[in-house]
Amino acid sequence: MLFPFDYVIFDMRQREKIIERFLSKPKDFTFNEMKKLLGGFGYREIRTGKTAGSRVAFFNPHSRHLIRLHKPHPEKILKRYQLDLVEEELRAKGILA
């Protein structure tokens, strides 16, 4: 069960497709796709400062929940453990069933 998105960043079919793709744990899931996925759940990317390097955080102002990741470089492809971490966080918050 999915909770409604806080705001629409793409249509319903695109939303379903990105969630489906994320849950299938593809080897080529990009950081930009993660931004879209989390943005659809009301998370905003925040940078923690000039010395943060590749660390980024996604903050949901409604639930006050924070998800931290390292931004992949030089490729934009996320590692499997990052997908697992985000899925675990979203399930723990009840966003994904």
pLDDT tens digit sequence for 50-90:
666 788 999 999 999 999 999 888 889 999 999 999 999 99
Q: The domain containing residue 31 runs over which residues?
A: 12-92
For the residues 10-19, what does the mean pLDDT come to? 84
With contact defined as beta carbons under 8 Å apart, do 43 and 58 qualify?
yes
Does 1 map to a domain?
A: no
Tell me whether the omega of the peptide bond preceding residue 72 falls within 30 degrees of 0, making it cis: no
Does 2 map to a domain?
A: no
Percentage of residues in the chain with pLDDT exceeding 70? Answer: 84
- The pLDDT of residue 13 is 84
**pLDDT: which is higher, 95 or 15:** 95
With contact defined as beta carbons under 8 Å apart, do 70 and 55 qualify?
yes
CATH of the domain at 67: 3.30.920.30
Does 52 map to a domain?
A: yes
Q: Indicate the SS3 state at residue 79.
A: coil
Domain count, the chain: 1
